[in-house]
Structure 1
Amino acid sequence: MTLETLSSGVDTIWVVLTAAMILLMEGGFALLEAGFVRQKNAVSIIMKVFVDISFGALLFYVVGFALMYGKDAGGWIGISGFAMKGDLSHLSLNISTDTFWLFQCAFVIAVISIVSGAVAERIHFRAYIVYTIVMTGLIYPISGHWIWSAGGWLAKLGMVDFAGSAAIHALGGFAALAAALFLGPRIGRFADDGRVNIVPPSNLPLASVGAFILWFGWFGFNSGSTLSATNPNIGHIAVTTMLASAAGSAACILFTILRYQKADPPTVINGALAGLVGITAGCAFVSDGAAILIGAFSGIAMVLATEWLERRRVDDPVGAFAVHGICGSIGTLAVGLFAVPSLSANAGLFYGGGWKLLGVQALGLAVVAVWGFALTWGALKLINMWRPVRVSRDEELVGLDVGIHGVPAYSQEHDFLDIERLKTEQ
């Protein structure tokens, strides 16, 4: 066995394992969202996660990977590698193309899962399947090509996004905002007199376990993006990831105590995720101290963004836009401020790099945000011409578990006859 073969084998094991960690995050999304929504909609959350994984993987295999990483055409799109066939020789990797596809497939599944939470409790299942196909086969791969493909126009400008604060989280967050606005709020969420009616989470312990699983998987998300088990920066990436997430959670604990006189559990849960989203772009390029600042700022910004959305009567059941859209934006811009010369080819503003990197980061963020929002709105508009994107009033009131899927999350013996009656009436 040659040294090159051994190196490739070790890197392959590393990438496959971290890809599996990212895929496990879907279990985290499922538990987090199921815990945040009402009990009558828990099954609908699980079904959407299965759609994310199954349709997302298939579409990314057939179409998405080629558009994202295929041979570049003018910096805008890839044109080879459909169904993993054709010329992919331009990908200079120490791992096989199949291994690289698996890792990137885990990313695309995470993107659509962000939108899933924002449309919870009111989107029709069939419409969600179609939107998943559009997001994983078209929206994400094209903008991903701009940032992460060597020939992408934003990459050529020098945009830096190590593991996806912009490419994944800002894109998914602004797509989630568009979807939430398009669907409108859940019945009874906002009163006519402007009051905000609180919808209590059905199971906070379940949601917290989901957050812990996401927290665990994020080490695969960030550290795995090295694509190499021998990269000396893996330890630093893991440390900045941990510090930012801890700072996001700690900031939310202290901020909610000062603001509400009580530490708010759902906010603290989302605070940890906010810190993780915020550090994803710069985890390999910023110092430990900067990671703490980014995480803490992301956590507080998430709280303020959630309140802002409520004042404008935007219903986002799990805080997808506040966590991913806002904190993904913060993380993208933070690279332009805090990138350390010894860790990054381009230094941030606070380290003598001037305004160039920050300007490129801001441009890339704006483009991705508009792309995700506009394409999502347009896709849902077209889908709505085929069939209503939102479920009927009766289906929403009875809950999507029984109304759409014909089964409750938690069955009792006396429920069986009622379920059969509802199926017959449909």
Structure 2
Amino acid sequence: MKQKNLRSRIFWLIDSIKGNHLNKHLNEINTVLTNPENKTSRNIRENNLNNILQHAVNTTPYYSKYINAKSVFDFPVVKKNLIQDNFEEFRSKPFIDKKNFKVSTSGSTGVPFFLFQDKTKRDRNKADVLYFLNRCDYNIGDRLFNLAVRLKQSKTKRLMSWLQNVALIEIGKLNNEKIIEILDQVKKDRNKNKVMLGYASGFESVIDFLDNNSYDLKDINLNSIIVNSEYLSRQTKKTLSKYFNTQALSRYSSEEVGIVAHQTLDSVDSFVLNHASYFIEVLNFENDDHVKKGEIGRIVITDLFNYAMPLIRYDTGDIAKYNINEKGITEFERIEGRKLDLIYNTQGNVLSSYIVYKKFYNYYHLLKQYQFIQQGEKEYEIVLNLRNDTFGFEKELIQDVKNDFGQDAKVLIKYVNEIPPLSSGKRRKVVNNYKT
């Protein structure tokens, strides 16, 4: 980090007093991700993986039965429900009586999931955030506008927010007045370097406002926009970049683990994988075989730093397509959302959710919100929240769906005044009520 302002100096002084933990993590992350495939990086990654595997088999009841495992691939893939049903079995005995941190998520289905993290894991997550923010042109002391739902902070977190120059903005009710208030706040802010961070659905509401209202964004001067927690469609990404004259970048992370992948200013259309903090796999939907390059599969991760509650080959429930770039480094070409939101054509074949998103691009100017639901083997429901009273393209939209899903598809269009978000504040655009 090259930032020399007062906030940055105080931040790193505090870290130095506490043992220089964040700085050490940040240096290791930078070393590994600068070139994940060189000898130094591979040695660090292998050591971190071997250390967590040995720790897991020696200190947790669940993994103790795999003490003779020769590699990570000898461990089973585990899912959320298995962990929750056998919660104490996954806890590391030496850490049970230590100070741990409870992290939880409601998940896209609304089913609660939580686990514990130790202090080292918390520090690693913070360092991951700082590293990827830096690759989105943010340094400590720059202005970060964090648009989020249900903002609650302790005194310590408020201090760290001040040091990092973070403006926390509640977006629980994002109407036109609130959007104007946010845009005015960002525009009038005198910091030279500014970044916005928030949900895709929140930014979609901002786009909706800008599409239908006159607002001068000429002097808003953002370094970048980071979209987290939800799928960022190509259309939303493109439109955000156009309106704000900066790159809109997607972050793939979760409360229970941290940042697994991130688009950056030097990787705007693909996701840099966080090889420094996770061992990442993409597996088949039907079995635990690895998919081939260019195929869609389940994202499965091994957390290299949570010693309080090791997660070995943890199925995140999300799906992605991976590729290998010109430098020989594995990256995510696309992250498609959750496996629970996979959809099938009338022949039972999996279709990419991207196919659904594309069907609505031509109608964005007519819609406030939309949702695509598979209700049965051949039954599909389209839920529309319109800007105006009528939608004159029912036949075209239904036929477009049949072209990809099957001519025998039964497609119903339903009109509503609001598509409510989940308790987390997120909105699901694609839902499968047929295969869950």
TM class by smaller structure: under 0.3
Greater relative contact order (CA < 8 Å, ≥ 6 in sequence)? 1
Normalising to structure 1: TM-score of the pair? 0.26
Q: Which has the higher helix share?
A: 1
TM-score, structure 2 length as denominator? 0.26
